[in-house]
Amino acid sequence: MVSTPFVAVPPKTYGGTELVVSELVEGLQEAGHEVILFATGDSRTAAALRSIYPTAQWPPEMLTDLNHISWAYREACAMGADLIHAHSAVALAAGRLSPDIPLVYTLHHERDENLSAFYRYFRHAKYIAISRDQASREIRLPEVTVIHHGLDPSPYEYRETPEDYVCFMGRFAEVKGPHTAMDVAEQAGVRIRVAGETHPVDREFGEREIRPRLTRPHVSYVGCVGLSEKVPLLRGARALLSPIGWNEPFGLVFIEAMLSGCPVVAFPRGSVPEIVEEGVTGFVAQSADEMAEIIRPGGRLEGFDRLRCRERAVERFSRERMVREHVALYERILRAGVAELRQDRSGARAERR
């Protein structure tokens, strides 16, 4: 399992890809598989850990990624790995150097024309899409399997009666909609707790749209949070607001909220209609005005069944289910490889005769 060199596994605060890698590795290990994780040295795992960088290398940079991936590939090949599962596009190019080892690559991003053009050169890799919506927007790839993310439900807690606030959790980027979430909460007359941070690329947006809003009386800024802070934040929230302005490929925070019994109220972009079940795990709002109506005291959140929300999230988005689907894919790939090898050997014998 080849993670990124940019964030530790699991992430201490922000890091969606690395959280998925952690859940997958720990789940595979628990299921009895031998896993070697290539990640940064400050990662924590029950699997065997290998690293070229002792600590996370932030911000992301291409040469750092290339160094990490090429080193990991060399090590994995030397160990005689049965299969390599990578989470960086650089691994597709590295895979050319050892075509006999099957390569699985997970798409963690929205449609990117540069990456799509790159993928056209790698027709033999096995791709995983994290939602049907994401897969439908990508170029036609020869083999794509959709596997939704999953999380271990045990750290997340639900409360039958929430407190009197809604929350936003995520990057302070325009596409994530933190400014809209704060405006919607104000319009609805409810308090909002905001968790996240501004990345360097979004600094101008953060200064212009986020900083002034964080001083409003109905807003409480709780910083960039890790799991220990997420659990009580989501457990007590009446709803998680996600007024996204992009085609979200999945949205891990959605299932973190659902596992806490906290309904997701989101705009219908990207994976949202696929992930959020109306009235069961949340609500899909067509506009900011509708979102405000949903979360307003006396609105559609009243009487929401938080236990049912959690139970449905466990059913659809548990780590166990995610691991099971990955193992099924790995086994199909390995069986196909054995069959192909037998066919090649049979053909070679026929030619000799």
The predicted pLDDT at position 344 comes to 46
For domain 165-316, the CATH superfamily is: Glycogen Phosphorylase B; (3.40.50.2000)
The predicted pLDDT at position 340 comes to 61
Label residue 338 left, alpha or beta by phi (over 0 means left) and psi (-120 to 50 means alpha): alpha
Residue 284, φ and ψ in degrees, nearest 5: -100, 120
The predicted pLDDT at position 14 comes to 76
> Where in the chain are the domains?
16-151+319-348, 165-316
The predicted pLDDT at position 15 comes to 77
3-state secondary structure the chain: CECCCCCCCCCCCCCHHHHHHHHHHHHHHHCCCCCEEECCCCCCCCCEEECCCCCCCCCCCHHHHHHHHHHHHHHHHHHCCCCEEECCCHHHHHHHHCCCCCEEEECCCCCCHHHHHHHCCCCCCEEEECCHHHHHHCCCCCCEEECCCCECCCCCCCCCCCCCEEEEECCCCHHHCHHHHHHHHHHHCCEEEEECCCCHHHHHHHHHHHHHHHCCCCEEEEECCCHHHHHHHHHHCCCEEECCCCCCCCCHHHHHHHHCCCCEEECCCCCHHHHCCECCCEEECCCHHHHHHHHCCCCCCCCCCHHHHHHHHHHHHEHHHHHHHHHHHHHHHHHHHHHHHHHHHHHHHHHHC
pTM over 0.85: yes
The predicted pLDDT at position 123 comes to 87
The predicted pLDDT at position 6 comes to 97
User: pLDDT by residue (tens digit) across 290-343?
Assistant: 999 999 999 999 999 999 999 999 999 999 999 999 999 999 999 997 656 444
Cβ partners under 8 Å of residue 61, min gap 6: none
- Determine the CATH number of domain 16-151+319-348: 3.40.50.2000
**Nearest CA among 311, 285, 281 for reference residue 296:** 285
Residues of the chain with pLDDT under 70: 338-353
**Nearest CA among 257, 251, 264, 194 for reference residue 231:** 257
